[in-house]
Amino acid sequence: MAIVGGLIAYLADKMGSKIGKKRMSVFGLRPKHTSILLTVLGGTIIAVLTISVMAIASQSARTALFGMEKIQQELKLLNQEKADTTAALEQAKGKVNEQNKKISELDAKIQEAVAENDAMEIKLAQVNDMYSQAQNEVNSLTHSKLQLTNEIDELEKTTEALRKGIINMREGQVYYRAGEVVFAGVMRGGLKHKENIIQMNWLLQNANEAALQRLGVIHDEQKPLQAIWIGKNVVDNAVARLDKSKGNMLFRIRAVANIIVGELAVCDIEMVDNQLIYPDGTLIFSEQYNLGNNGPSYESVLMEFLTQINHNAVKAGVLPDPMTGKVGSMDAATMIEAANSMRRTRGSFILRAYAKGDITTAGPVRVRLEVVPVNE
């Protein structure tokens, strides 16, 4: 626009100069006024033409010349919309803040829920473990129940046989009394499970052989006869006890009731550690006696002395026979020799009993007697 203004001024000046020189007159005006009028009209026409050309050639120019009011109105509307939008934005920010607070609260609740869920999963895992243990126990109990059922069936058969023979109990011949030892054996500890089973089978076979010999029955080895009965759980417990043992153990198979000829001998297994009670040569008992004119007889002194030996041995840990209460026996030659030694003293003497060989819990108690006069 500055360039166009300068051009208009230049052209108008030139036009006014030419018109002034020619002394032209328009509408009866003086040449000076005519020159001024034409100069103004020329500048106006040139400006209008310039603006028209710019409007035709440029959209921006047309907008600036003719659309300014519209633009101002639109700008006003836009400013109003901006204000409304800004207010809406502030309101939305407030809502967003509220939503963020709610989200934070929900996050906290979610974390609590996750923690509770983790705790519940831990409890669920514990419950599952307890359920698995309970299931295993149920399976074990079911297996035990089946075993007990089988044993009950066998016991019922045995009981039925006992019922049939209960009438003849008093008249029938009893070949084993309640508590009597059918067979006893010492078995080694610290062996493997299979070896312990072999030892237990040896014990049961020998107990069965002993019962058959008591009955005087001769059986074929190809078809062995069964004379005793022991519950499977009792045998399993005995094998388990032998598995845990580190030393030798004494096993005694004993009848649980009076057994009549013709019936199975229902037995139980007694188990004790077979410990060394008296090493060889140990003094078991010693006592001083005086066989004067009015003193006791040699036989009574000797029997009393043997009774004291039996009492001391049982107290020390030797297992006695459940029927007789004795832990051993003495041959007649030893007793006669001891009686002769006592006679030769002719007065006071000390009678001593020494272990003849190592004596364990299983026994028997074998002794060597020594008679020492008091004056010696």
Question: How many domains, the chain?
Answer: 3
Query: 85-99, 195-209, 340-354: lowest mean pLDDT where?
Result: 340-354
Does residue 123 sit within a domain?
no
Residues 290 and 342 in one domain: yes
Residues 265 and 305 in one domain: no
Is residue 335 within 8 Å of residue 302, measured between CB atoms? yes
pLDDT mean across residues, the chain: 82
Does residue 129 sit within a domain?
no
The mean per-residue pLDDT over the stretch 41-47 comes to 78
Give yes or no for residue 136 having a pLDDT over 80.
yes
Segments forming the whole domain that contains residue 46? 2-66
Is residue 351 within 8 Å of residue 305, measured between CB atoms? yes
Residues 342 and 283 in one domain: yes
Residues 303 and 361 in one domain: yes
pLDDT at residue number 122: 92
Q: Of 26, 48, 66, which marks where a domain is finished?
A: 66
Does residue 90 sit within a domain?
no
Does residue 217 sit within a domain?
yes
Residues 283 and 348 in one domain: yes
Residues 237 and 284 in one domain: no
Is residue 316 within 8 Å of residue 304, measured between CB atoms? no
Residues 247 and 292 in one domain: no
Residues 317 and 346 in one domain: yes
Residues 181 and 224 in one domain: yes
Q: In sequence order, what DSSP letters do the residues of 91-139 get, joined into one string?
A: HHHHHHHHHHHHHHHHHHHHHHHHHHHHHHHHHHHHHHHHHHHHHHHHH
Does residue 73 sit within a domain?
no
Residues 282 and 322 in one domain: yes
pLDDT at residue number 222: 64
Residues 222-281 have pLDDT tens digits of 666 788 888 889 899 989 988 888 888 889 888 888 877 777 888 998 888 888 888 988
Residues 233 and 315 in one domain: no
Give CA angle at 262 (261, 267), nearest 5°. Answer: 75
The mean per-residue pLDDT over the stretch 299-318 comes to 85
pLDDT at residue number 159: 66
Measuring CA to CA, which residue among 344, 359, 177, 168 is closest to residue 257? Answer: 177
Residues 181-195 have pLDDT tens digits of 888 888 888 888 899
Kindly state the percentage of the chain with pLDDT values over 70: 89
Give yes or no for residue 205 having a pLDDT over 50.
yes
Q: Of 274, 297, 329, which marks where a domain is finished?
A: 274
Residues 315 and 290 in one domain: yes
Does residue 336 sit within a domain?
yes
Query: 191-195, 308-312, 321-325: lowest mean pLDDT where?
Result: 321-325
Query: 22-31, 156-165, 259-268, 315-324: lowest mean pLDDT where?
Result: 156-165
Give yes or no for residue 170 having a pLDDT over 60.
no
CA distance 56 to 45: 16
In a 13 Å sphere around the CA of 47, the CA atoms on its Cβ side amount to 14
Does residue 342 sit within a domain?
yes
3-state helix, strand, coil in the chain (%, to 5): 60, 15, 25
Q: Of 17, 32, 66, which marks where a domain is finished?
A: 66
CA distance 136 to 159: 33
Does residue 143 sit within a domain?
no
263 contacts: CB under 8 Å, gap ≥ 6: 158, 161, 162, 165
